Structure 1
Amino acid sequence: MKSNLRELYHVEENQKGFIAQGAFSHVYACRRKNGNQQEPLCVKIIKKKIYTMNRTLQEIEILNEIKQLKSENLLHIDHISESESQFEVVMERCDMDLEQEFKLLKSKNKWYTEQDCLNIVTQIMNGIRVLYNKNIIHRDIKPANILVKIINTDKNEQKRVYQIADFGFSRILNDFCGVDYYTQLGTPLYASPQIFGSEPYSGKCDIYSLGILFYQLFFEGNMPNQLQTKGDLLNFHKTLENKQFKFNSPKYHNAKLITHLLQLMIVYKEEERISFEQIFQHQILKIKISFNYSDSIFSEVQQGDCLNKLYAMQLQLYRKYLFYKSVSQKLVQSQQIEVQAALYCLTQLGFKQLHFCLGFIHIIISDIHPHFNKDNIYPLLQELKLCEMNIDKHPQYQLLIKIIKQKYYSEKGDLQKQMNQLETEQNSNTQKSESMRTFMEIFQLSKSANIEQKQLTDLLQLFLEQKLLIGFEADIKKSILLEERFPIQNSQDINPDDIFKV
């Protein structure tokens, strides 16, 4: 186990790479120096302290055991090393924990479907079964210690893997069912009455904690009896000691089976609490889950997030068009040739925003690809495809697309008229200024090739520097600034409401 971890991994042991902090440890981001360098990993650094050494050695022993097990529903351990001052455990870095997932769904006024709940319960119990077979007691089962790994499939779907983590309070028991005075650990709201009351307990303490967690899962994140304080918990335990836990059935098809299991798990006396063998044989775990991503709440959440994100991107591009259009209308009455040239540049800039919109709407890679790097373009294309399939769920977006299409073809006609007018005037004008000669080079090029927005804003800047746009300087400066502040490649991060604040 003794090795120099820094020879194998890049460890970001700084503020930027900091992920979390425990009572006796810190977690930082890291990656392999060789092999798959893109796999997200993290390293848990546990300092050696005399007063915590026994517990630390116990945790390292269990982590070494789990490293060998390689269960999908237990935290994946990549490497463990030891130095004179600390232990370092390299682990798979997941996307969030179950507590954070609860908060995410609540923030969107959503909750799991029954299939989601059964899938999560099954995965957690698969991990628990592996621990049980190795006589490992966890002693701190709670949503924050269930990690969530999101795996994107090639079908534009997501697979969520739930992994039991944080074995800092875990222990290997010689007799899993034997009752003894073990160290009083855990999180009070999830700890069994025996742990909470400093009484002897066995491996069945984890069953109570799982019962509380599963109750939250089936009841939209709520605790039994709305437990909040230590007093609430004491009263709840007293009630459990005298009578069976009673509650309204969850609003799911298998409500009777769910209620039956929870009432057997959330039990005060250990001898009356259901055993692990009985849970593994319970009917709730025998329900065959034909899990389709489309039936998951995360399919709906992903669709909604995707639609809102792309709607915002299109809206800010459309508002950029409106900004350029509003400035163009101020220039349209002027007969000065340089002002007409500036008008053409502005019309082109506005038309390009609509053109980008059409690229998003019809998923035309050639219209959007040059403006996004290779790491961003594939996820964006996947989102565009998902959006295309679910556009009927976003009436505002549907209306915006209709407006964009109408404006696109209208502006295309106006742009052609401007081009014809400018060409006629230039053919009759034999004396051209330096700025107009530069403009005409780009103007002629625009007939057969794509002109970058930077070329157009540079022309506007040239007209300003030569003081050829008297009376329009402020609006032209804003137009140039608009493109600098809100380039298309940043469109995923731009708030549409900021466009008119330039």
Structure 2
Amino acid sequence: MNQPPLGKLKTDEKQIESYRYNFKKGKLGKGAYGTVYKGMNIHTRQNVAIKLVRKSDMKDVDDEKQLLNEIQILKSLKNPNIIEIIDVLQTENNYYIILEYCNHGDLESLIYKTHQITHEDHFQFLIDILTAFTTLIKQGIMHRDLKPANILVHIENNRKIFKLGDFGFARQISNYKNQIMESKVGTPYYMSPQILNGQQYTSKSDIWSIGLMLYQIIYQKTPWLGRSESELLYNIVHQNLKFPDQPIVNELCKDFILNCLQIKEENRFSWDTLYRHPYISEYFIKFQMQRTNCQKKLFYIQNYLKQKIPNVDTLTQIFQKVDTSGDQQLNLDEFKCFIQYLDNSFNDDDVKYIFDEFDKDGNGYVDFEEFKQYLYPSPPKKAKLQRSLQKKHMIILQELSNLIQQYNMSPRQLFRKYDTSNNNALDKQELFALLKKIDLNNQLQLEDIETIISVFDENDDGEIQFEEFKKCLQMIHNDELFTINSSKKMILETDEKIQTVPQLNKKISIEQLHNQKYIQNAQNQQMIVLQTNPQISFNLCQCNI
């Protein structure tokens, strides 16, 4: 609603079309390419943030391209936790980007200057920023400069709302999961080790930054320090991540941070696994359902093609027909025509998700080898098993195989029992919960689960699909690495009712695992699980296994 017009301009005010600001008192912040002022729409009296970028400050054409890229990305994003772009104006000397105004500044100033952010705010921060990323993931946008100064804070009805801003280094990519980047951008303290070291990196670099900011909000400091980028990188690599005793923090929260701050990208959370982590998963059920639906369609396409394409020769002929450009690779449009020809119920989001899964090298194209590998993946080699799996891994996997045979269980139903996210895949936490039931000596850690997954994860999605799980069991049963009674035939395809195996019957959460202590009673060789409430303690010796 329009308001009565404002009075005449004061000597320290400027106006650009409908927006007025005080260039002396209204400064909110200054960045590499501009200064931000608090302003107002003179007609609606709406407060706005005005980012003024002087053309004379732009060193070359690339700077202008970067600014226009930021504007284009902001225009494409509609999310309550992403700063909204309202208008873009241009004069002979300046650009003016009119943005949504946040009444409590940025996260950095609240942490360091006013101490208005406490560790109790960390959860709302995490939910809000991950809500913003649901849109970024869908549109294939990496932020690449996540830091407290780029998180804006707005207080409404006594509630802090965190919003993601400053997309100056953001980049739209064709494959959110796999595309490799090389440019060194961002702020050193929040850069992933790969960026600091000048190595290639993926969108998982944003996951690192999220984990680091979460740690900082909770503990009011960053986990690593350094007087230079090289010293910071050295400390990250050589100093283990430590959690101070105070404040007391939920173990699931620590586990979340730990998985965000894995130095090697292959050990770090994938985006799908991140959103399924028990610390935050209940807040993203709709997003998970959408991703799960895409995964189900991926499995449908994969199985359909396997059934219809009997051999590689036929696959070659089909690929050549689909490759209408004749360049020996499929772009997204060619891939889309092919998938929607098979099933026209698949929408653009479904096709993009499947395309990214096929496009293993993340270059925006699916070549024939990628196409073939996804339909006919090579099983793990014995050499890889011998090289990667430690003795404790083999013992646990062998015990799992033995239990399945001994109790005549259906692997499919066992798999479903621990697939709590119902996406036909076991992520790190779900597989951990399953194998921990067998690990009576409490030897397995989360990093051991990552090793096991890396060996049997054929499509490199960071999870174990049922087909991969089944092949894993088959290899354990048949390979010379494992001493298994070969006279017992493993039942792999039956859907008969699982017989009750007490060891595997009661699911266990990561948080419970952190709170439990396993004590070996040497006198009677019984394993007792002690919990906070002794009434719910149970004795695994009753399992008779």
TM-score normalised to structure 2 length = 0.45
Q: Report which structure shows greater RCO (CA 8 Å, sep ≥6).
A: 1
Instruction: Give me the TM-score of the superposition, normalised by structure 1.
Output: 0.49
